[in-house]
Amino acid sequence: MYRYTDFDRHFVRARAAQFRDQLQRHLAGELADEDFRPLRLQNGWYVQRHAPMLRVAVPYGELSSRQLRMLARIAREHDHRDAGLPTERGGFGHFSTRQNLQFNWIPLTEAADVMDKLADVDLHGIQTSGNCIRNITTDALAGIAPDEDVDPRPYAEILRQWSTLHPEFAFLPRKFKIAIHGAREDRAAIGWHDIGLQLHRNGAGEVGFRVWVGGGMGRTPVIGTKLADFVPWQLILVYIEAIVRVYNLHGRRDNAYKARIKILVKAEGQRFVDQVNAEFDALQHGDALSGAHVIPQAEFDRVAACFTPPPVLAPGFETADDTDAPLAYRRWLGRNVHMHKVPGYRAVTLSLKRAGLPPGDVTAAQMDGAAALAERFSRGELRVTHDQNLLLPWVQAAELRALWQAAQAGGFATPNIGLLTDMIACPGGDLCALANARSLPIAAAIQERFDDLDRLHDIGDIDLHISGCMNSCGHHHSGHIGILGVDKDGSEWYQVTVGGSDGSTLSGAATPGKVIGPSFAADEVPDVVEALIELYRRERRRGEPFIETARRLGPQAFRAAADAVRRSTALAGAE
């Protein structure tokens, strides 16, 4: 993991002190709500349905056990409420699709104290919200995936530092998300980001970036446009500065729904590309500040030295004989354990998708439990995955069985990674003030409907994504099955899409799913999902996952299957 320097520590402390000053002025009535709002957002503080929500940045998803223990402590000491439904009670955190952690029940009056505690473990909420460059996300298997050409983490860290409190880009037209990976498979959904970066080597072995721009979800789903095939790594800050400057000056600010860079890229087409290239050129020639942000080899080396792999193990490390192992263990090996770049090691997903708990939620006790697993089995390091699980990146193969037993005891061993119940869901209308509908009851009903492991494994790989509104925090556009909460006449309805892709090998080129007819009532949704799954099971060819069958049959077949299980909406449609 990146190791904070004195400068880095001083910096997050300064940020906490600045926020405390702003908060005090706000609480004293000197800083009005509408002026305080953008300031608190850029520190991760939303005001939500019941209380403020704090979004803590987990830079490119890397978390130490020490940091996770502090998050547990914050959950216990600050995130609490005594009444309400179990899903509405405090004392827990929620891992989001952007690899961050959210708390839902911290009183604003305690906000500054929480920021100080976060700073104690090199954490903060800088730019986790607001119209600025957000937390940079990456492949949860960064630095450990066998198919990786270039480890993206040092570049992600350099980008994190460059984008942190950038004075020119703090008030962009809209939020701005960058994702980066360096593998053959895209596990970071880069096509869906404002800027998507893929590290690769050219014929001469030099490292550079393929750059896409203008992807995004929301009301208008758009896949990014490729802008460059090879930007030398030394120039990536300059290149991104050019993109963001063109966006800052020319992006629309008259309509929040048309303010993302994707709209500018679509509207301007080649002119946008020309403007970026002209700005990139101007930055390198004839600019008093030119050259300053060309990354020196020494700086890359300094940062990269933080991301050293563990020592290679002595021969004979993979001794485990699992032929007599119980089915549950073999299933866990098959779903939750991933191959590793370093011989003798495995990556292991701790499933946060289990019956009775919302996807991505962890209680304070579970955070401590996951931290203990990381300390015992993974050099004290964890990753937050973009599908809302935790991952242990440095597990020795010989210790898998012991880890499995410990993970079972902690409730992290559900062998469902990549399966239907490993769904993505935003917090939805239970907690979020933006939501049009609730996500969690839908997720819970589907969890319950598909709780049989034999059936889950028979259905196989599938991405089910649920968002409570068009803001798409639950990535419904990229789900093989996507569910979107919509509000009509004050009640909750759910639009269902089929065939979306995040860009992974399984899912194919990134693309939004297709809507299969008018919205469904909440109580119809589990039946609809089941109908889509049953259609797939009837029609699938040998070895064909859901997404391929979905593409082969097309949305009409799925629409017919879904229509067949309508009840209230069938009656309404007949009127």
Partner 1 sequence: MDFIPLHDPIWQRLDGEDGPRPHPAPRPHALLSLEQWHAVRESWPADLPVGMVLPNTADVATVAADLPRWSLVALQFPKWTDGRAYSQARLLRGRHGYTGELRAVGDVLADMLPLLQRTGFSSVQLRADQSIASARRALRFFTGHYQGDVTQPQPLFKRQAA
By CB under 8 A, name the binding residues for partner 1. Answer: 7, 10-11, 14-15, 17-18, 21-22, 25, 30-31, 35, 38-39, 131, 161-162, 164-172, 237, 245, 248-249, 253, 282, 286-289, 292-293, 295-296, 298-299, 302
Complex with partner 1: residue 252 or 449, whichever CB lies closer? 252
CB-based contacts of 180: which residues, under 8 Å, 6+ apart?
60, 136, 137, 138, 152, 155, 156, 159, 188, 190, 196, 197, 198, 199
Q: How far is the CB of 575 from partner 1 (least distance, A)?
A: 46
Relative to beta strand 390-396, strand 195-201 is unpaired
> How is residue 240 written in tokens?
């991104």
φ, ψ for residue 567, nearest 5 deg: -120, -80
Q: How far is the CB of 474 from partner 1 (least distance, A)?
A: 27
Complex with partner 1: residue 169 or 404, whichever CB lies closer? 169
**Bridge partner residues of 464 (DSSP):** 481
Q: Residue type at 74?
A: I
Complex with partner 1: residue 5 or 405, whichever CB lies closer? 5
Q: How far is the CB of 172 from partner 1 (least distance, A)?
A: 6
Contact call for residues 383 and 393 (beta carbons, < 8 A): yes
Q: How far is the CB of 305 from partner 1 (least distance, A)?
A: 14
Q: How far is the CB of 466 from partner 1 (least distance, A)?
A: 31
Complex with partner 1: residue 253 or 537, whichever CB lies closer? 253
Q: How far is the CB of 166 from partner 1 (least distance, A)?
A: 6
Complex with partner 1: residue 133 or 189, whichever CB lies closer? 133
Report residue 48 CA to chain centroid gap: 20
Complex with partner 1: residue 249 or 312, whichever CB lies closer? 249
- The Cα–Cα gap between 537 and 540 comes to 6
Q: How far is the CB of 41 from partner 1 (least distance, A)?
A: 10
192 CB burial (10 A radius; 0-12, 13-18, 19+)? buried
Complex with partner 1: residue 160 or 476, whichever CB lies closer? 160
- The Cα–Cα gap between 165 and 167 comes to 6
Complex with partner 1: residue 294 or 372, whichever CB lies closer? 294
SS3 string of 500-536? CECCCCCCCCCECCEECCCCEEHHHHHHHHHHHHHHH
> Looking at the chain, how many residues does it have?
575
Complex with partner 1: residue 21 or 451, whichever CB lies closer? 21
> Comparing C-alpha atoms, which of 550, 544, 502 is closest to residue 185?
502
With vertex at residue 189, the alpha carbon angle to CA 188 and CA 193, rounded to the nearest 5 degrees, is 110
Contact call for residues 485 and 493 (beta carbons, < 8 A): yes
Q: How far is the CB of 40 from partner 1 (least distance, A)?
A: 11
Complex with partner 1: residue 17 or 553, whichever CB lies closer? 17
Q: How far is the CB of 173 from partner 1 (least distance, A)?
A: 8
- The Cα–Cα gap between 484 and 468 comes to 6
> How is residue 120 written in tokens?
């104690």
Complex with partner 1: residue 32 or 320, whichever CB lies closer? 32
**Bridge partner residues of 198 (DSSP):** 181, 210
Q: How far is the CB of 296 from partner 1 (least distance, A)?
A: 6
Complex with partner 1: residue 198 or 275, whichever CB lies closer? 275
Q: How far is the CB of 94 from partner 1 (least distance, A)?
A: 27
- The Cα–Cα gap between 245 and 227 comes to 15
Q: How far is the CB of 169 from partner 1 (least distance, A)?
A: 7
> Comparing C-alpha atoms, which of 75, 128, 71, 87 is closest to residue 425?
87
- The Cα–Cα gap between 358 and 189 comes to 23
**Bridge partner residues of 350 (DSSP):** 390
